[in-house]
Amino acid sequence: MTFQDRVFSGMQPTGTLHLGNYLGAMVQWIEMQKSHECIYCVVDLHAITVWQDPAELKTSIRQVTAAYIASGLDPKRSIVFNQSQVPEHAELAWIFNCVARLGWLNRMTQFKEKAGKDREAASVGLYAYPNLMAADILAYRATHVPVGDDQKQHLELARDIAQKFNSDFRSSIEQKGYADGVFFPQPEPVITGPATRVMSLRDGTKKMSKSEPSDMSRINLMDDTDTIADKIKRAKTDMEPAPPATLDDLRARPEIDNLVGIYAALAGVTKEDGLSLLASTAGEGPSIFTGFKRALTEVAVEKLGPIRSEIVRLMADPAEIDRVLADGARRARAIATPVMDEVKDIVGFIRG
Ligand code: AQP
């Protein structure tokens, strides 16, 4: 069958969002809402795969919602809600736990990174996280998933799960009237934001992340002007005597590559333009990067300052944020419940 284009994506309320979340995913979300039916979720069930303080979790859910809206998501046009208000996510995830194979999950690099050395102590939820992510997408039979580069492997798993479900239950799916035996689409990753992998400001080989202990490694959407300036000033560079002259040179210098990539994404220019700026500002201060960092700070403050102010304004009225989430959850369920009813029929459950 052909599927109606539908976009799904989400972010975890595990702290405030950072520049990586914004450039890697959010910018694309905002673009896609202009042309597609979009469902954007605050994935609180995912957040508790690692310990979350209950009071802080509530605040984070509201703050991530506020960040979505402040960045440009329109909750009237797109569906915006928190995952736990739509029980179909957890229900479908259980069925996918029974479709996905252990061998598939064993290959997931994010689990290995997040569980670290003490895998025995990791939650079962952290291990099964990709199955829940597949359920998030497929509960809406979504066709497009805008994400950062780090989510590519999880998306491939979601595609494998969709395919195996379709194949395991083929005759049951056909009996329901799907002549080609296809119930779930193969969701397409959309990894095309202006910077699909933003790296840590302290280590150009590690991705910028909410859970990295050093706050100096990331620029948060809630950082004020002075904090942004300080973080960029202290961002790691290198000891080479001259700035990189070509894109090939740049690729060999991960910290500089990251800063140029962030500048280009925020300023809406190419990396070549970033390189030219680097060259033209190299004589402006004690370090060859002083002038470039000043320009980067200016564009970061110009882009992120208004988002921060809007988050603060929205957070002053938590009841309104809760209303947005409840309305989004109602609209999300209107799509997910009929899908889940069909899944139950296909699997062989009896419904009242
Ligand atoms: N550094 C990044 N560069 C580009 N995109 C990124 N994303 C995350 N980090 C970067 C994208 O942001 C979306 C939401 O991510 P998430 O909150 O679900 O979790 P994550 O990918 O695990 O992000 P974090 O910041 O590293 O969170 P923690 O530390 O809590 O796990 C996704 O589309 C992701 O690709």
**How many CB atoms are closer than 10 A to CB 211?**
10
Regarding the beta carbon of 153 and ligand 1, being less than 6 Å apart is answered: no
Q: Where residue 304 falls among pLDDT bands split at 50, 70, 90? A: very high
List, in order, residues 6 or more apart from 89 with CB less than 8 Å away: 45, 83, 132, 135, 136, 139, 336
Query: Average pLDDT in the 332-338 region?
Result: 98
Share of the chain above pLDDT 90, in %: 91
Spacing, Cα 192 to ligand 1 middle (Å)? 15
Query: Average pLDDT in the 251-275 region?
Result: 95
Q: Where residue 1 falls among pLDDT bands split at 50, 70, 90? A: low
Q: Any catalytic annotation for residue 210?
A: yes
Spacing, Cα 20 to ligand 1 middle (Å)? 7
Tell how many helices (H) and how many strands (E) occur in the chain.
16, 5
Spacing, Cα 239 to ligand 1 middle (Å)? 30
Whole-angstrom distance, CA of residue 279 vs CA of residue 137: 44
Q: In what order do the strands lie in the sheet with 188-190?
A: 79-82, 38-42, 7-11, 144-146, 188-190
State the catalytic residue, choosing from 76, 112, 152, 207. Answer: 207
Whole-angstrom distance, CA of residue 352 vs CA of residue 343: 14
Describe the crossing of helices 290-315 and 271-281 by its angle, rounded to 10 degrees: 120
Query: Average pLDDT in the 116-134 region?
Result: 95
Regarding the beta carbon of 207 and ligand 1, being less than 6 Å apart is answered: yes
Q: Where residue 239 falls among pLDDT bands split at 50, 70, 90? A: confident
Strands 144-146 and 79-82: unpaired
Q: Any catalytic annotation for residue 114?
A: yes
**What are the sequence ranges of the domains in the chain?**
6-197+318-347, 215-312
Burial grade of 85 (CB within 10 A; 0-12, 13-18, 19 or more): middle
Query: Average pLDDT in the 111-129 region?
Result: 93
Spacing, Cα 147 to ligand 1 middle (Å)? 8
Give yes or no for residue 194 having a pLDDT over 80.
no
May I ask the CATH architecture of the domain 215-312?
Answer: Orthogonal Bundle (1.10)
How do the residues of the chain divide into helix, strand and coil, expressed in percent and rounded to 5?
Answer: 60, 5, 35
Regarding the beta carbon of 220 and ligand 1, being less than 6 Å apart is answered: no
Through-space distance between the first and last CA atoms of the chain, rounded to whole angstroms: 28
Closest C-alpha to 21, from 62, 53, 56, 67:
67
Closest C-alpha to 221, from 27, 54, 53, 5:
27
Structure tokens at 206: 């590690």
Give yes or no for residue 232 having a pLDDT over 80.
yes
Helix (H, G, I), strand (E, B) or coil at 56: helix
Question: DSSP H helical segments within 24-123, as ranges?
Answer: 27-32, 44-47, 54-71, 88-97, 102-106, 109-115
6-197+318-347 placed in CATH 3.40.50.620: yes
Structure tokens at 150: 């780090």
What is the model's pTM?
0.95
Torsion of Cα atoms, 73 then 78 then 81 then 85, to 10°: 180
pLDDT at position 149 is 93
- Please state the length of the chain: 352
Q: Where residue 282 falls among pLDDT bands split at 50, 70, 90? A: confident
Regarding the beta carbon of 203 and ligand 1, being less than 6 Å apart is answered: no
List, in order, residues 6 or more apart from 6 with CB less than 8 Å away: 36, 37, 38, 39, 140, 141, 142, 143, 144
Give yes or no for residue 241 having a pLDDT over 90.
no
pLDDT in tens, 127-164: 999 999 999 999 999 999 999 999 999 999 999 999 99
Pocket test for ligand 1, best of 19, 50, 209, 211 (most atoms within 8 A of CB): 209
